[in-house]
Structure 1
């Protein structure tokens, strides 16, 4: 029997059609062309589910398909995000001996116009908002930018290829350790492909060069280390995750009860303080090369913008904003942003201390709940942000994150005109199904019937 005959023709045709659609998406799709973007993405999503269903018993084929799709975008420039221009800028800045936390691109180019190769192109590409603010990317992320700056100091595409290869290697790590965690929680190993083969991950992380993929690798590796009772390795991995993207900082309290068992197993003080101590120490040490009197102020100011100045694709926050408008007559984002931060802190500490997180499955579920509710209440939810929700959903068997990776593509309608403008109808269409499944799964605890089995 031939190879194609053995595995049937249809799934290979689906893979081939997906290949052609990815090629179109990476090299021809424009962010402003929303209808074609939505159509291609919907087709890719439908076919990815079918491909997994056909090949779920052959992980090698699924892994090969996922790798081919990623390599396909290797020589393309990101087409849905302009953040990569800032990545390249920061990398070249460090490569030339300058601190990215002390200069905004506009202020730097005014003082040193000839230091950074292709500086005008990079500043124009990153946009006014990025060009007028200090860098908010943590040190380990800056290291990846620096590698690109060293290896490709004069080519934007070359720098993109270097960073993209780093993200692809990170996905290999997520695949490896993700399958190990799935085995430990008795979920099918092929479930990892709801992340690895997901068009959302391939397009947003690999294609559009968002380093959530690298952050997730370190987080998944840390969670695997915890399952092996290797708390030092877990602490080092989780600190690395934080040093790529700050979002895992929110999850740190959840690990408390891992070291504080039930009444029959009292707190392990040395491991508890050791775990948090290693994380704090490594995070602090990573900033040492950038130490300056203005570092803390510049960095905290830039990070704070995300809570008190920016708003995009939010859900609960927009309802609170509407209420604020009704009461005061103007946008209360500064106040609401602070209230949301307080609410999230209280909620995460409640989940941390009142759930049995010494049980591994419960720990993973609590992490999922914490990060999900954070993004449900956040002022800004760019599509690539929810990659962490997706991987934790896959490791726990929850389906609402998978649905969200499909509906969140609707947020790109806001970019179909020169002036970014969101539609309340689109927000409802995106979030209502996600909230419905979230409530169904989390609160009702009634299994959702689906041909796609995640548990």
Structure 2
């Protein structure tokens, strides 16, 4: 009786869910990234379905949870079809289990010498591609631990390793749901807002589907922010270091904690109060983050490691280009002036600009609570991506999660528009159509400017 009543009550939502399962199955098992029309059609359909499901079912958190993780379950047996990075993940994990330091060797150095140090070495090398295979790994230690787990549970099967990696990422999303709901509750915001991340097709496809570990990094980040909100800053520092040790991007946020560590002091017994930075707590927080992160890296340390790792990270600023916005404009100007690509110079100047911008935010931006801290993080990372030489689709996942706790909508729009970057794979040389990139960023920048200035316009209008 209860089942029939549930079906009657949620029949439209169940129809949408069934359609979503079918569309995700087609995405996971019957799609090539070169098939642009099918890719876009499925992606748009999944966004519409997810929006309607969240709109109609936002008060039933349990139902939304089953739907979101049911969609993820569709991908369990699928080999990623939009990214080949997972081959390198499996390679690194198996290398560690064989006693090799993955930061000291490139896959190319082994294969070119007809040396096959791990199971399925040639297959993994072919899958990751020459660009990936010719560079040293840049994945931090906790990320490497995930790769090792894939090697432990499946040392001879690529599919088995993929399943292990996928289960780790799904578990991380469960953690994000858990702490995300609690953080929203602390902010007195509706819990269903976390499903703009959890139910987002972009998140499901890029993380669960394509096996990108932004989700694991975000699990530690959101856990850390929750601990900060509960004033457990010592434990928050350790967890934040875990986030850095999955992906380095949270390092960008460190200066922004400057104003969070304040304490009130009574100047006058009546009304005057001021807030001062608690330098001891601030320095202790930074020290714990730094020492914990270094401890994670120590098992891999050598002079060669330091050189290889810093050079590999620097490549992202000075060599690689993909789905950029402001950088492409600067590159064009550089061509007009010098006649050749000025990426090395532009990359260095961009890094300096971002450093100055983030430090300025830390000093000038009002940050009295964790909610304001998250909003400042969102702005800092957005400007970084707007000026970056390389913006892979999965990078936007961090913006999507942070936006859940703010009034900003542009990350959600970007999570939809980012699919257009995959149209670069529709041609044989994987070249980007700059008109398509321009379309993507015109939409994103338009919504970004609305998010920034609309509240001020409304304030002026009604003041």
Identify which of 50, 75, 93 aligns with 2:77.
75
- Runs of 4+ aligned residues of structure 1 deviating over 3 Å after TM superposition are 3-6, 109-112, 260-263
Q: Does 1:303 align with 2:313?
A: yes
Preserved CA contact (<8 Å) 1:145 1:163: yes
Give the match for residue 207 of structure 2: 205
- Report the secondary structure of 2:408's partner residue: coil
Q: Deviations over 1:5-26 (max 9, x none)?
A: 5533211111100100000100
| C-alpha displacement of 1:147 | 0.8
Give the match for residue 162 of structure 2: 160
1:3-402 map, 5 Å? 3-110=5-112, 113-261=115-263, 264-402=274-412
- Report the secondary structure of 1:194's partner residue: helix
Give the match for residue 453 of structure 1: none
| C-alpha displacement of 1:114 | 3.5
Please list every run of 5 or more consecutive structure 2 residues that lacks an aligned counterpart in the other structure. 265-272, 459-463
CA distance change for structure 1 residues 447 and 282 in 2, over 3 Å: closer, same or farther?
farther
Give the match for residue 411 of structure 1: 421
| C-alpha displacement of 1:446 | 5.8
Preserved CA contact (<8 Å) 1:441 1:447: no
Distance in 1 (CA, whole Å) between partners of 2:114 and 2:348 is 37
Distance in 1 (CA, whole Å) between partners of 2:423 and 2:167 is 29
| TM-score normalised by L of structure 1 | 0.96
| C-alpha displacement of 1:397 | 2.7
Range that drifts further, 327-336 or 184-193? 184-193
Distance in 2 (CA, whole Å) between partners of 1:239 and 1:5 is 46
| C-alpha displacement of 1:331 | 0.4
Distance in 1 (CA, whole Å) between partners of 2:57 and 2:292 is 42
- Report the secondary structure of 2:368's partner residue: coil
**Number of residues of Structure 1 aligned to a counterpart in Structure 2:** 448
CA distance change for structure 1 residues 242 and 447 in 2, over 3 Å: closer, same or farther?
farther
Preserved CA contact (<8 Å) 1:261 1:358: no
Q: Deviations over 1:282-339 (max 9, x none)?
A: 1111111111120110000111100000000000110111111111111000000001
Preserved CA contact (<8 Å) 1:104 1:131: yes
CA distance change for structure 1 residues 435 and 390 in 2, over 3 Å: closer, same or farther?
same
| TM-score normalised by L of structure 2 | 0.94
Q: RMSD between aligned alpha carbons?
A: 1.4
| C-alpha displacement of 1:3 | 3.3
Q: Deviations over 1:19-38 (max 9, x none)?
A: 00000100111011011000
Please list every run of 5 or more consecutive structure 1 residues that lacks an aligned counterpart in the other structure. 449-455
| C-alpha displacement of 1:237 | 1.2
- Report the secondary structure of 2:26's partner residue: helix
- Report the secondary structure of 2:451's partner residue: helix
Look at both structures and tell me which one has the larger radius of gyration over its CA atoms.
2
Distance in 1 (CA, whole Å) between partners of 2:72 and 2:8 is 26
Preserved CA contact (<8 Å) 2:110 2:116: no
Preserved CA contact (<8 Å) 1:308 1:334: yes
